[in-house]
Structure 1
Amino acid sequence: MKKYILIIALLFSVLCFNVFAQTKSYPFEVLKTGKGKQSILFIPGFASSGEVWNETKTAFEKDFTCYTFTMAGFAGVKPQLNPSFENWKTEIANYIQNNKIEKPIIIGHSMGGGLALALAADYPELIGKIVVVDALPCLAALSDPSFKSKENNNCSSTVNQMTAMNETQFYEMQKQTMPRLLQDATKLELVVGWSVKSDRTTFGQMYCDFYNTDLRNRIAQIKCPSLILLESYFINLKPIIDEQYKNLKTADFKYANKGLHFIMYDDTAWYLEQLNHFLKS
């Protein structure tokens, strides 16, 4: 009798494990496309949809398996409670391990670039290569090189500010902000629309949390090849950027010829040329 009870208990445990594995809720949605032995994970920037990578995927999914992320609470994806940069990093790593994705290439834009740096730093054996599209190890240090992250940073005032706006006010704020980040006017409404569809609490929380993130020391742990693509204006700040990235010994820096923060839209041909050379080398 004890033998049968033990077998039933073991079967129940296996069933529970399988159900958990199938229903695990990650703080992002993922679209898998393409076919190839090598995998690319595309992580969009702050309040952006995975659609920001559509043109990039078209160029590479014939040779690579592509996993395109949209983070919870951004661009219409259902939000999750208590979002944080560190939790998102950990859950992307869990997704890679649980799905047995071997040595993927991580391509991240803006906050997604920060996540690429953090993943490669904290899981150096997990990642094959990274491409950072217009992101810095510490955004706040761009204006204050002596910036120190706060422990238990309170983001409630930023969240309250964002949630207090009505839809018209928030739309107007984003419409005024976006031309500073995007030169291609044909993409303006698309990108603004992603922000407007984003959960306002997630928007405020993650803006505050990412601004408090400092990866300048952690990136010394990165072992994989790293391509850093930066917008054209940043060439004027090269000494400051070199200082921020000084601990990343595997980096190859490239500055775009034109355009702003959304390099994939503003200098598309140059951007795809850099990716082609780096991914296929």
Structure 2
Amino acid sequence: MRARTMLAAIGIALSSASMASAQSASPPPATVESDRISVTVEGTGPDVILIPGLASSREVWAGLAARLRQGHRLHLVQVAGFAGLPAVPDPDGRVAAPTTEAIANYIRRERLTAPTIIGHSLGGEVALMLGARYPDRVGRLLIVDALPFYSLLIDPAATSDSVKPQAAVFRNAMLAAPATQAEAMQSASIARLAKTEAVRPALIAAGIRSDRKTVIDATYELMTTDLRPELGRITAPVEVVYAYDPIYGVPASNIDATFRNAYASTPHVSFKRIDGSFHFVMLDQPEAFARVVIDFLGDGVTATTNR
């Protein structure tokens, strides 16, 4: 069903983190705090910044981090207001944009040279903002199940202005919903976001720990922010990884077209579809996802050019 596809990609649910970190003999990670983000640093090697999605904890990357930390220095971001981290109110009700600014400042302050950025869902939008608005501070971008304008999944002809009334209705309804209703919606939505039943309880619990207004503000921002006009400014290679499962009720070719059309103005972009997965690709298909990431981080990474 198209509604299932939309929910899976936008992460409208109060989705959150995944499994506990794997045991490691590495030294305890260092954590860098700022008002907008908390960053845990572990491993040694080329710098990789991992940005989780809506209401997610950095722990969503735990399985991947266990495989990468021996050869890379990982910067695991957590966004203020998500999964128990204290919220930081924004006068304009934004979340992704100020998070982008905070990560750009972190890259400059820590003197990171062309780090690879990996972002899932809302984190993918942040990665695109970094690439378009701070092209000199990033290396490669790996976008995980994220679109530059999520409302295309509701209406392919949508514009930022046309979706604002619908986004406002959703925002107001969620703000007014009692806690019991919000928790019930959380459980129902996670079933559409994670195919693997074993990971769902942790996702639900961590989502409930997120600040509701921050999550709602972020969802409104995702629904009304169209980054397509900015994609042409990205100079870094971009790889878009996205999920597909037959339960969506649409042909895989339709999903392929949705992603390729959305990124049509991106100068250097390639695409990888991972089948048998819902929105949380790294949890539903961890081995396939890890192979894609490891290939992307290798010396032989290439990207096609849109014309």
Q: TM-score range by the shorter chain?
A: 0.7 to 0.9
Aligned to 2:173: 161
Aligned to 2:36: 27
Give, in whole Å, the separation in 2 of the partners of 1:125 and 1:173: 41
**Alpha-carbon displacement from aligned partner over 1:203-260 (angstroms, at most 9, x marks no partner):** 1111111111111121111111111101024543222322111011211101002111
Q: SS at 1:217's partner residue? A: helix
The answer as to whether partners of 2:35 and 2:88 remain within 8 angstroms in 1 is no
Pair 1:131 & 2:142 matched: yes
The answer as to whether partners of 2:168 and 2:220 remain within 8 angstroms in 1 is no
Pick which of 252-261 and 81-90 moved more: 81-90
CA-CA distance at 1:161 after TM superposition: 2.9
Letter in 1 for 2:80: A
Aligned to 2:229: 217
Q: 1:190-209 alignment to 2 at 5 Å?
A: 190-209=202-221
Q: Count matched residues.
A: 257
Letter in 1 for 2:34: S
Give, in whole Å, the separation in 1 of the partners of 2:51 and 2:268: 21
State, as a whole percentage, how many aligned pairs show the same letter: 30
RMSD between aligned residues: 2.0
Q: SS at 2:194's partner residue? A: coil
Aligned to 2:248: none
Aligned to 2:66: 58
The answer as to whether partners of 1:162 and 1:203 remain within 8 angstroms in 2 is no
Aligned to 1:240: 258
CA-CA distance at 1:24 after TM superposition: 8.1
Pair 1:178 & 2:187 matched: no
Pair 1:121 & 2:132 matched: yes
Which runs of at least 4 in structure 1 moved beyond 6 Å after TM superposition?
153-156
Aligned to 1:252: 270
Higher RCO (C-alpha 8 Å, min separation 6): 2
The answer as to whether partners of 2:274 and 2:288 remain within 8 angstroms in 1 is yes
CA-CA distance at 1:164 after TM superposition: 3.0
Give me the TM-score of the superposition, normalised by structure 1. 0.86
Q: SS at 1:229's partner residue? A: strand
Pair 1:189 & 2:201 matched: yes
Structure of larger gyration radius: 1
Give, in whole Å, the separation in 1 of the partners of 2:243 and 2:185: 23
Give, in whole Å, the separation in 2 of the partners of 1:162 and 1:173: 10
